[in-house]
Structure 1
């Protein structure tokens, strides 16, 4: 009860205070009221501004979420791009590792010698060039196979009548060419005989018959005979065969085409020529020894003995070392070889070499020159020029002249030198032939003219007359002991 009473007194006191404040407010002057009102208005304005600011903030807050979403989306795209790039780099790394592994595997499969040879950029380029050449060769071989197949197909389609017609054309061509060659050979022989008789006639009239008997020795007759031989070579070896070259469609100018030969090729070819000469001399000595059982022997006719210097010696030297190699190579390795080459390289080499041996008129020279003529013919076919053959022929004749001078002027010493050189050259020639035996097998022989070549030779009367005359001359060198 006491608490309630106290509570009632407090209420009375508070009411009394509020009444006093109101009375005081009513008693304040009107200026204070105006100020209070102004403050209230300011407060109201401020409250309004605050409300506007709050509203703007709320609106901004409402707009901000879409911008954040855009940023988030951009970040996601960047992350995706980075992940794609990382995947690409990983793939590249994997591919690179696979390539390296493959290269290592290939290197492991290759031998050690190739690994060492592949060091350096230059060697790699050479390997690439070799691969390119191999691919080109493979392509060429494929093309050749295709061409052969086409030729086979075309020949299968050709009728029997067409085949007979083609064979008849080939037969006529080879017979025509061989007949023209036979006529040129006979003309050459006839001109040579005429020039010999003219020289002997001049010597007999001017100097008497004694000079004729010594025409192969010294004196005025020897000079005339040497000069006549020089003139015979220039005329008889050129005019008939220049005409023959046109008839069998051989370009004389193209025969002297410039070619290059290495020092090794020149030395090997020269030694091979000398070696074949020595082998031919050996065969000649064996034949002479065999004929001894029948009381027969092979006579050696020397054209000229180089035992002292003189006008006739100089003329003979020019004939043997310069004129003969040029004119003879033009005939045999030039016109005849290129005219017959179209009917088979092997046939052309053998036939021209045998003819070249026959025209020398004796077995001592004939066997040797037949052998080395085959080598000269092979070189001419490969180089497509007679210039290498001319050079080798000159070198061979010069060597023979030097040996002849040594034998004549040094007696026993010259004979010993000749014997030693002969044995050495025989060995060298045999070694070179054995070493190059696979190379000579590359010579082709056209099978289209099989059977036609021998028939064409048999039908050439002029050629047979020349062959028989030279065989008779060779037979006269076999004399009784």
Structure 2
């Protein structure tokens, strides 16, 4: 798609194409899960790492389609950014504040978050760490921050952050993961905007996923996560003025949300997210 065609896309068309790409992402994940599970019908063993890798790598064709449909450039890959360390010192604790905070909330409500598949061998643990802790975050950040956020940023960075974070939330297809990752995604967008480097949200995502895996294998690490979560609460409180300012900026651009309503392929993913999440709650 040439530069002129990119410029001709309006807000509704961009959100619609984000929706198309997100549907492709979801459908490919379902197809990958089905195909990798077929050997179980014959009593054959399916390696956990292979199953997870199939789901993770589905993001690549979806990303390629998204970039072709919109011509959105993946900016921020050629730089480590500016104000990177100060941004990370705030973003890392805030990420764990939302992650740990919601985990504690779900525990109080008697609703457990989705558990990772059990792995036993060292090789499986290394493979899962590489797939979930590294490759998955890279692909997801390229899609949701590199593509979806940049696709809409020209209209309003705050609006782009909300829509791309909703898309990231929808991908998880359950409330217990989808709600906290929405707020975590907002932190990732903020870090991306602050530094101008896509490597910063990638690093934040890698840290989050890696720690989620490691704490399952080394339970004492939960102490570190709790400390980070408390620090994240403090940082979030200190950033209330900036959050309030971002909210006012979003309200000034609230007319843009009409574009979402005119892009059914996007909000229907949200309907599917709510429906599937409610089904999981009722079926539990």
User: Normalised by the shorter chain, which TM-score bucket?
Assistant: 0.7 to 0.9
CA distance in 2, matches of 1:255, 1:426: 28
Q: Is 1:399 aligned to 2:211, yes or no?
A: yes
Q: Are the structure 2 counterparts of residues 387 and 456 from structure 1 closer, same or farther at C-alpha, using a change threshold of 3 Å?
A: same
Partner of 1:232: 55
Aligned-pair CA distance for 1:349:
1.2
Which residue of structure 1 lines up, in the alignment, with residue 111 of structure 2?
A: 298
- CA 1:175–1:263: 2 relative to 1, 3 Å: closer
Unaligned 5+ segments in structure 1 are 1-169, 212-219, 289-296, 408-413
Q: 1:280 aligns with which of 102, 122, 137?
A: 102
| 1:470 matches 2:283 | no
Alignment of 1:257 with 2:70, yes or no, is: no
Deviation of 1:391 (Å) = 0.7
Offset of residue 423 of structure 1: 4.5
Contact 1:241-1:331 at 8 Å conserved across structures = yes
Q: Is the CA contact (8 Å cut-off) linking 1:343 and 1:445 kept in structure 2?
A: no
Distance 1:441 1:304, change over 3 A: same
Alignment of structure 1 residues 8-27 onto 2, 5 Å: none
Partner Cα distance (1:241, 1:356) in 2: 13
Spell out, residue by residue over 1:441-462, the C-alpha distance to the aligned partner (whole angstroms, 9 max, x if none).
Answer: 5544484x542x3332223232
Measure the CA separation in 2 of the matches of 1:458 and 1:393. Answer: 30
Equivalenced residues, count: 275
Structure 1 residues 246 and 381, CA gap change in structure 2 (3 angstroms): farther
Change (3 A) 1:450 1:441: closer
Distance 1:266 1:450 in 2: 30
Task: Name which structure has the greater RCO, CA cutoff 8 Å, separation 6+.
Answer: 2
Deviation at 1:344, TM superposition (A): 1.5
Structure with higher Rg: it is 1
Within-5 A mapping of 1:286-435: 286=108, 288=109, 297-306=110-119, 308-407=120-219, 414=220, 418=222, 420-421=223-224, 423-435=226-238
1:73-88 superposed matches below 5 A: none
Residue pair 1:237, 1:328 contacting (<8 A) in 2 also: yes
Superposition CA RMSD, Å: 2.7
Q: Which residue of 2 aligns with 1:181?
A: 18
Structure 2 stretches lacking a partner, 5+ long: 1-6
Does the 8 Å contact 2:22/2:171 carry over to 1?
no
Asked if structure 2 preserves the Cα contact closer than 8 Å seen for 1:305 and 1:404, the reply is: no
Q: Per the alignment, in what secondary structure is the counterpart of residue 330 of structure 1? A: helix
Q: Are 1:459 and 2:262 counterparts?
A: yes
> Post-superposition shift, 1:325?
0.6
Following superposition, the deviation at residue 439 of structure 1 comes to 3.5
Could you tell me the TM-score, scaled by structure 1's length? 0.52
Residues 316-361 of structure 1: per-residue CA shift (max 9 Å, x gap): 2222111111011011111000111122222111222222223223
Q: Does the 8 A contact of 1:345 with 1:446 survive in 2?
A: no
CA change 1:237–1:479 in 2 (3 A) is: same
Aligned to 1:45: none
Give the drift of 1:246: 3.4
Task: Tell me the SS of whatever aligns to 1:302.
Answer: coil
TM-score by length of 2: 0.85
In structure 2, the residue matched to 1:72 is none
